Each structure stands twice: as structure tokens, then as C-alpha cells.
Amino acid sequence: MEGKKRTFSGIQPSGDLHLGNYLGAIKNWVDFQDEFDNIYCIVDMHTITVRQNPADLRRRCLEQLAQYLACGLDPEKSILFIQSHVPAHAELGWVLGCYTQFGELSRMTQFKQKAQQHADNITGGLFTYPVLMAADILLYQADLVPVGEDQRQHVELCRDIAVRFNGIYGDTFTLPEVLNRKAGARVMGLTTPNAKMSKSIPEGCVLLMDKPEDIQRKFKRAVTDSDTERCVRFDPVAKPGVSNLMQIYSAVTEKSYDEIEAEFEGKGYGAFKPAVGDAVVERLRPIREEATRLLADKVYLESIYKSGAERASYLANKTLRKVYKKVGFVAR
């Protein structure tokens, strides 16, 4: 795709994809397909920084691929693959680790957070996770990385590593930039509107494969606000719960906040929450149905991830050969 900027992004198969993944990332990826040269990965190697059940991890990788496709990602327009199927990720990760300072990794906010969450399993992989992420990006000479604010620090470290390597060996890596998400895509938990939607809080997390009745139940129990006016108004500071629901409703219906406020004027939260649930049910229904159909066709899914890995490997190995030559390795 000559002339188009390249994007790289991925999601860990550490659990089922949820509404936040869809509205915050995958929906935008679909929108990017004609604008950029896109590479989207199921980052299973990152997932094992926390202990996984092997059978569950394999299952979730296939389910995630099926859901990527069901959401509208086109394997003819975007490269879709499983990270561990391209060994160059691990190989470049080792090299880049030798050009990353211990102090840089020690300052990573996510490492500190995850080390607290998994105090009984603080591994070297958890510590060096950002180096593998840098390898993911730099392997494909990505210009843009569509990530949220929680990953911006990792992209900045990726740039620092690339600048250091380029400074020693000459122009080798493209310096990636964060591709900012569209406004309103940061989905918070239905029961924790001040924190991102997370699988770790099931009642506040809507999964792409949830049944309609489960989605409705979660929205009916969603936290609104303890104010006295009980009106549907967008104010993230004073009304975080209602504002989160408005963002979700806006994202799935493409209505503006003004239109939403007018629609529910005088109706209160009792009418608003089920309406948001209905809108989400209808947006996710075709995704769930198509993903279910695709999961029954394992041969087709295998053809997609094999083809994707071949295309990804071609690009990745070009970069890896260049890096190996520059650091002085004997050619294979």
C-alpha cells in the first residue's frame, strides 16, 4: 500500500473482548482500513506475563480472531495474525532489550501497577514487557500506533529505543507516533465510571459475546449519579456515570450529546439506562452472530491466521535482517 502510513496495534487474548475494546479500539481500526496500511495482532506473547490456562489461551486467540473479523476487519485490507506465529517479535525483543536501560523500565507506570496486582508473580517478562511492545511496533516500521493514554508511555519508550539504536547504527527504525483515538471512545466501567471498563469487574463489563438479556441487566444496574436533578446531561466531572452512558450511547447511535439530552429530557435515568442497553444490544447482535458462525469454521480461521503470519513475517524479517547485520551477527 504505497504512500499510506502504516499502523500497528494489538489486544491481549487475556479474556473475552468487551465493549471498551470495541468502541475504544476495534471500531476505529475498521474505520482506518481504507486510510492506512494496517497490521493488527493478537498479542499472545504479552499475555503470559500473567499465568494462563493453556487451553483457555488457545481458545481465546481463535475467539478474538473471529471477533476481529465479525467487527468488520477485512483480511484483504489489514494483516491479522497471532504474535507468537512470527518469531521475529521475540528475536528483535532480545536485541532491543540490550539497548534499553534498566532505569527506563523501572519508571514504567504499568509495571508498578501490575507488580502490585500480581505481587506473587513479578517476572522478568512483566518487567521487560515494554521492550517486546517496542519490537512489535518497530518490526513493521509503523508510523502510527493507535493506543489509549495508558499505553502512551510505552510508545514514548519505543521511540527512545529507536532513537538510541538509530543514533548508534544509522537510520534503521521509523519513529512511531501515537494515533489519538476519536473523542468519546474511552469507555468506563458500568459500575465503576471513574475507571476503564475491565474484565476484572464482570458486572460492569459488557462482553461482545454477551447475550442480550445479560447486556440489558448490566445496563439496568449501571451506576448513574447521586445528584438530585436526575437528568441526562453530559458533565464528566459532576456526573461521571451518566456521562459514561452518554458516551456509549453516542458511540453506538452516532447521536450528539445535545441530541441525547433532548431525547431524554424529562424522562430521567429509568428510561435512559434501558435505552442505552437496547442500543448496545442491537450494535453487538450482528457481531455476536457472525463471530459464532466463524468459530464453527476452524478451517477458515486457520487460513486467515496462517496467511496473516506469512504476510507479517515477510515485513518483520526484512527489518530483523537489517538489525542483525548492523549489530554484527553473521548472516543466516
Domain boundaries of the chain, sorted by first residue: 6-184+297-327, 202-292
Cα 218 from Cα 161, distance rounded (Å): 43
| Residue 112 known to be catalytic | no
Cα 180 from Cα 100, distance rounded (Å): 26
Strand order in the sheet with 37-42: 78-82, 37-42, 6-11, 144-145, 177-178
Per residue in 276-306, pLDDT tens? 999 999 999 999 999 999 999 999 999 999 9
Mean pLDDT, range 242-255, rounded to an integer: 93
Higher pLDDT: 179 or 207? It is 207
- What would be the CATH architecture of the domain defined by 202-292? Orthogonal Bundle (1.10)
Residue 305 · residue 82 · CB < 8 Å:
yes
Per residue in 47-105, pLDDT tens? 998 889 999 999 999 999 999 999 999 999 999 999 999 999 999 999 999 999 998 88
- Residue 290: its pLDDT value, please? 97
Cα 96 from Cα 196, distance rounded (Å): 31
| Residue 322 known to be catalytic | no
Lowest mean pLDDT among 207-211, 225-229, 283-287: 225-229
- Residue 266: its pLDDT value, please? 86
308 three-state secondary structure = helix
pLDDT value at 148 more than 80: no
Q: What is the 3-state secondary structure (H, E, C) of 90-141?
A: HHHHHHHHCCCCHHHHHCCHHHHHHHHHCCCCCCHHHHHHHHHHHHHHHCCC
Among the options 27, 114, 218, 239, which is catalytic? 114
What percentage of the chain has pLDDT greater than the value 70?
A: 96
Per residue in 311-326, pLDDT tens? 999 999 999 999 999 9
- Residue 76: its pLDDT value, please? 94
The model's pTM is 0.89
17 φψ region: left (φ > 0), alpha (ψ -120 to 50), beta (else): beta
Cα 118 from Cα 149, distance rounded (Å): 22
pLDDT value at 181 more than 70: no
Among the options 5, 77, 196, 322, which is catalytic? 196
Among the options 5, 77, 199, 326, which is catalytic? 199
User: Which triple of cell numbers denotes residue 161?
Assistant: 529505543
- Residue 231: its pLDDT value, please? 86
| Residue 199 known to be catalytic | yes
Mean pLDDT, range 122-143, rounded to an integer: 92
CATH of 6-184+297-327, one of 3.30.70.270, 3.40.50.620, 3.30.360.10, 3.40.50.1100: 3.40.50.620
Average pLDDT taken over every residue of the chain: 91
- Residue 199: its pLDDT value, please? 83
Per residue in 265-279, pLDDT tens? 888 888 999 999 999
pLDDT value at 234 more than 70: yes
